Amino acid sequence: MPIRSTFALIGLTAALLVACSGEPRSESASKTPSTDSVAKTPSAVSTLENPSAEVLAERAPDTVRVRFETSKGPFTVEAYRRWAPHGVDRFYQLVKMGYYDDVRFFRVINGFMAQFGLHGNPRVWAGWQNRVIPDDSVVQSNKRGTITFATRGPNTRTSQLFINYRDNSNLDGMGFAPFGVVKDGMKVVDSLYSGYGEGAPDGAGPSQDRSGSEGNEYLKRDFPKLDYVVKATLLTGPKRP
């Protein structure tokens, strides 16, 4: 399955956001953390590689709060099932399993968005890139601070997310359904490293193909300044086992 997809460009033309298994792409394209990665037990990795049907069917609470500890500091997301029930359920499932721990913000475009959700372990990514969820209706606009699943077409959302840096309401008509908003720490999101710009082949940033197939080994070696999630923690609902 191809790892690129398309989103609409901001500002000038209609070129689109691409992503491995569902991500954005724009027109244009430190603080050292105390921990470089979060160790996982073999059983936790196995669960991430092969989530059970029960895990994938779990319904999220009506409101889900998640604290993201990052290499630049913390921010908190509040997600609402009434905005996008399928998206919030998937977000809740992924956070509960620890999916976003040690995941890089691999595509950060000033004035557009910050994208993440490609797992650093290629085996885990291989297990998720085709686990799609149905589309949600767009009931909220892609305003600054909202968080949305990336997509490569209808009913293709998996695990990649982006946080809007500005009013990207031009994405609303393309089916990008925000499911939550950054409630605290938007300054942290604004400060994520953006120096690599757009990803290859359109820019000097990471290749999504290689990010998916080689994981954090590739990103740490070739793009060492990328910021990342140290740990994502549920503040509402049952915590991860």
pTM: 0.84
Residue for token pair 């050292």: 32
Q: Residues 6 or more apart from 92 whose CB is under 8 A from it?
A: 58, 60, 61, 64, 79, 234, 237
Domain-wise residue ranges, the chain: 1-27+82-241
Residue 190 is inside which H or E element, if any? helix 186-190
Which of 106, 108, 166, 109 shows the shortest CA–CA distance to 142? 166
Kindly state the percentage of the chain with pLDDT values over 70.
79
pLDDT number for residue 238: 55
What CATH superfamily classification does 1-27+82-241 receive? Answer: Cyclophilin-like (2.40.100.10)
What integer best gives the mean pLDDT of the chain? 85
Measured at the CA of 173, the angle between CA 159 and CA 82, to 5 degrees, comes to 60
* Interval 22-49 mean pLDDT: 51
Which of 208, 174, 203 shows the shortest CA–CA distance to 21? 208
pLDDT tens-digit readout, 154-188: 999 999 999 999 999 999 999 999 999 999 999 99
- Residue 27 or residue 212, greater confidence: 212
pLDDT band at 237 (very low <50, low <70, confident <90, very high): low
Tokens of 45: 């990795």
pLDDT band at 44 (very low <50, low <70, confident <90, very high): low
Kindly state the percentage of the chain with pLDDT values over 90.
72
* Interval 38-59 mean pLDDT: 77
**Count of residues making up the chain:** 241
pLDDT number for residue 20: 42
* Interval 83-96 mean pLDDT: 97
Tokens of 155: 């009913």
- Residue 148 or residue 15, greater confidence: 148
